[in-house]
C-alpha cells in the first residue's frame, strides 16, 4: 500500500519565481492538507482540499494557492517567491473532512535564493 | 483557538534511560491529540493519537502517552531509550470546533548518548 508521495524532493528557485509542488494521497484517502515547516519549527497549516475545493485555510497570503484533482492528488502553487518561503513543504492525506488521522509524505525541500 | 506548548526544545538522554517529552495544550473542548516523529530529512510519522477513549495511549516503537485533562497535558514517554529514537518529536492538537484543523508544537529534539 503506497503511502503519501510528493514531488519533487528538492527544488531551488530564485526570488520572484513561481513553483508548483505535487502530492498523491495514501490509497483510500480523499482529503489533502498542506503544511509549511521552516527550519527548526513545527509545521504550519496552509490549507486543506476536499472534493476539489479549498475547505480550510491557515494564515498564509494569496500567493499560496492550490488545486485538487478528481483522483484526489493535489498541487501547491506559490507565486512571487520570497526568501522566507524557503522551507520543507509537507503534504498530508486523510479520509473525509474531519477527525481522521493525517498521514504525511516525505516533503519537498524548497530553497529560494 | 487551540494551541500546543512543548516544554524543552532539546532533550538529551542516555541509552536505556527514560525518555519524557512534555506537551501541554489549550482547549475549550476535549481535543484530539497526536505525537509525530520526524527523522532527519524525512516527513512526519505518526507515533500515537488520543481520541477520547483510553487516557493511556500506546504507540509504535515502545512509546506511550497519557492524557490528563486536569493538567491539560499529553506527555510522551518511553521507558528505555534506544539510539534509533534520536529524532525530532512534535505534539499536535486537532480542534473539533475548527474542522479538526491540526496545530503543531515547536518540536523537541531528542539526542541519545551511548
What is the DSSP annotation of A18-72?
A: -EEEEEEPPTT--EEEEEEE-TTS--EEEEEEETTEEEEE-S--TTEEEEE-TTS
Instruction: Tell me the torsion sign for CA atoms B57, B59, B65, B68.
Output: negative
Distance from CA of B38 to the nearest CA of A (A): 10
pLDDT band at B54 (very low <50, low <70, confident <90, very high): confident
Give the separation between CA A48 and CA A99, rounded to whole angstroms. 13
User: What are the pLDDT digits (tens) for B78-109?
Assistant: 999 999 999 999 999 988 777 778 899 999 99
- Residue B1 predicted with pLDDT over 70: no
With CA atoms as reference, report the closest residue to B103 among A75, A11, A18, A35.
Answer: A35
Contact A1/A26 with Cβ under 8 angstroms? yes
Local structure of A56: helix, strand or coil:
strand
Find the chain B residues whose C-beta atoms sit closer than 8 A to any C-beta of A: 32, 34, 36, 41-46, 49, 51, 90, 92, 94, 96, 98-107
Predicted pLDDT at A1:
64
Mutate to test the interface with B, among A21, A43, A88, A100 (most CBs of B within 10 A): A43
* Residue A34 confidence (pLDDT): 97
* B31-49 per-position pLDDT tens digit: 889 999 999 888 899 999 9
What's chain B's average pLDDT? 91
pLDDT at A39 > cutoff 70: yes
For residue B62, the model assigns a pLDDT of: 96
Q: Is the pLDDT of residue B9 over 90?
A: yes
Distance of CA A76 to the CA centre of its chain: 5
Amino acid at each position: 500500500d503506497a503511502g503519501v508521495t510528493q514531488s519533487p524532493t528538492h527544488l531551488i528557485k530564485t526570488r520572484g519565481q513561481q513553483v508548483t509542488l505535487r502530492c498523491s494521497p495514501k490509497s483510500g484517502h480523499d482529503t489533502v492538507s498542506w503544511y509549511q515547516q521552516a527550519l527548526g519549527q513545527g509545521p504550519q497549516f496552509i490549507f486543506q482540499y476536499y472534493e476539489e475545493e479549498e475547505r480550510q485555510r491557515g494564515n498564509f497570503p494569496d500567493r499560496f494557492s492550490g488545486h485538487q484533482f478528481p483522483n484526489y492528488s493535489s498541487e501547491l502553487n506559490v507565486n512571487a517567491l520570497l526568501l522566507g518561503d524557503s522551507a520543507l513543504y509537507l503534504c498530508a492525506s486523510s479520509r473525509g473532512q474531519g477527525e481522521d488521522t493525517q498521514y504525511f509524505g516525505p516533503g519537498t525541500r524548497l530553497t529560494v535564493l | 483557538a487551540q494551541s500546543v506548548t512543548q516544554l524543552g526544545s532539546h532533550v538529551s538522554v542516555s541509552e536505556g534511560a527514560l525518555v519524557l517529552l512534555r506537551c501541554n495544550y489549550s482547549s475549550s473542548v476535549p481535543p484530539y491529540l497526536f505525537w509525530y516523529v520526524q527523522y532527519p530529512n524525512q516527513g512526519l510519522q505518526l507515533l500515537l493519537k488520543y481520541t477520547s477513549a483510553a487516557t493511556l495511549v500506546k504507540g509504535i516503537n515502545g512509546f506511550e502517552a497519557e492524557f490528563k485533562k486536569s493538567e491539560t497535558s499529553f506527555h510522551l514517554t518511553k521507558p528505555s531509550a534506544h539510539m534509533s529514537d534520536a529524532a525530532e518529536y512534535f505534539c499536535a492538537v486537532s480542534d473539533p470546533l475548527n474542522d479538526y484543523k491540526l496545530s503543531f508544537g515547536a518540536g523537541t529534539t531528542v539526542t541519545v548518548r551511548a
